[in-house]
Amino acid sequence: MRIAVKSKQHPHDDAPDTTDAFARLCELPEGPERRTLRDEIVRSWLPMADRIARRYRGRGESVEDLCQVAALGLVKAVDRYDPARGYAFESYAIPTITGEIKRHFRDHMWVLHVPRRVQDLRNRVRAAVKEISQESPGHGPTLAEIAEHAHLSEEDVRVGLEAMDSFTALSLDAEVSGSDDGYALGDALGDSDSGYDLIVDREAVKPCLRSLPERERTILYLRYFRGMTQSRIADQLGISQMHVSRLLSGCCARVREEALADIP
């Protein structure tokens, strides 16, 4: 069965007349003939689905992907449409396709996870800003003006404005606004501070050091905190340099073993 291009006036130029095709579709049982007719109906309405999809270009998603999402919405509309209800197919298909595209943006295009309520606030604030700007070109709307126009509280407007920054993200290579030397966002990130690891290590060995005999503690202090050589330590304590070396090795091994034993 071939679908007529148009036999009566429709509110949309790309809306074919598929009244007879839908009536026939409802009568056919599941099978190859029904699937073929269904596919013909879908193909005949694809130009309208593509037109709806192109309304949303420039919002971070490719037109090709948007057209695919719109086509999915069209298929759902064809499968769910009931001509017995008495309304034209396009009056059912358009909101179905539009809803599918908006759901795609809501579920897949946000960089950060944002609750549904916040997403709705973002959309209302965005629409209010656009309408105010069209009414008063060159005028940046204030928080109060947006709230009044969108029938929202100023706090909700703030939430919506913050959510607008969650839809897309800047690259770490992006230059910081106002910078004239190529200073990027990534340059503002801090590095790991090894000083914190040193503090943790010192706190971990304190109990171990306190358990050492006084002479061993003195040797460790002179060597690692005063920076004295083994020979100078030996002269100060009246022992041989070799003895100092053995005591240092033994103390370090003991402290290391006890400190590691406390790690779960």
pLDDT, tens only, 22-77: 989 888 888 999 999 999 999 999 999 999 998 887 766 788 888 999 999 999 99
User: Residues 98, 120: one domain?
Assistant: no
User: Residues 93, 114: one domain?
Assistant: no
Domain presence at residue 176: no
User: Residues 99, 51: one domain?
Assistant: yes
Q: In this predicted structure, what is the pLDDT of residue 44?
A: 92
Report yes or no: 67 and 50 within 8 Å, Cβ to Cβ: yes
User: Residues 96, 120: one domain?
Assistant: no
User: Residues 78, 148: one domain?
Assistant: no
Domain range spanning residue 141? 110-169
Q: Is the pLDDT of residue 169 over 60?
A: no
234 confidence band (pLDDT: 50, 70, 90) = very high
Q: Which of 70, 88, 108 is the last residue of a domain?
A: 108
Report yes or no: 42 and 74 within 8 Å, Cβ to Cβ: yes
Q: Which of 57, 82, 108 is the last residue of a domain?
A: 108
Q: In this predicted structure, what is the pLDDT of residue 8?
A: 42
User: Residues 40, 73: one domain?
Assistant: yes
Count up the domains in the chain and report the number: 3
User: Residues 26, 61: one domain?
Assistant: yes
Output the CA angle 78-100-39, nearest 5 degrees.
25
User: Residues 30, 92: one domain?
Assistant: yes
Q: Please state the rounded mean pLDDT for residues 97-105.
A: 85
pLDDT digits (tens, 9 = 90+) for 236-259: 999 999 999 999 999 888 888 887
Q: Which of 108, 137, 160 is the last residue of a domain?
A: 108
Q: Which residue has the higher pLDDT, 5 or 89?
A: 89
pTM comes to: 0.43
1 confidence band (pLDDT: 50, 70, 90) = very low
Domain presence at residue 120: yes
User: Residues 103, 114: one domain?
Assistant: no
Q: Which residue has the higher pLDDT, 131 or 180?
A: 131
User: Residues 123, 202: one domain?
Assistant: no
Q: Is the pLDDT of residue 112 over 70?
A: no
Report yes or no: 143 and 158 within 8 Å, Cβ to Cβ: yes
Specify the range with the lowest mean pLDDT, choosing from 36-45, 70-79, 191-200, 223-232: 191-200
Domain presence at residue 137: yes
Domain presence at residue 5: no
Domain presence at residue 1: no
The CATH number assigned to the domain holding 252 equals: 1.10.10.10
Report yes or no: 121 and 163 within 8 Å, Cβ to Cβ: yes
Q: Is the pLDDT of residue 187 over 70?
A: no
User: Residues 213, 148: one domain?
Assistant: no
User: Residues 43, 82: one domain?
Assistant: yes
Domain presence at residue 82: yes
Q: Which two tokens stand for residue 229?
A: 């050589």
Report yes or no: 75 and 53 within 8 Å, Cβ to Cβ: no
Domain presence at residue 77: yes
Q: Is the pLDDT of residue 232 over 90?
A: yes
Q: Is the pLDDT of residue 118 over 80?
A: no
Q: Please state the rounded mean pLDDT for residues 1-22.
A: 60
Domain presence at residue 9: no
The CATH number assigned to the domain holding 80 equals: 1.10.1740.10
Q: In this predicted structure, what is the pLDDT of residue 11?
A: 46
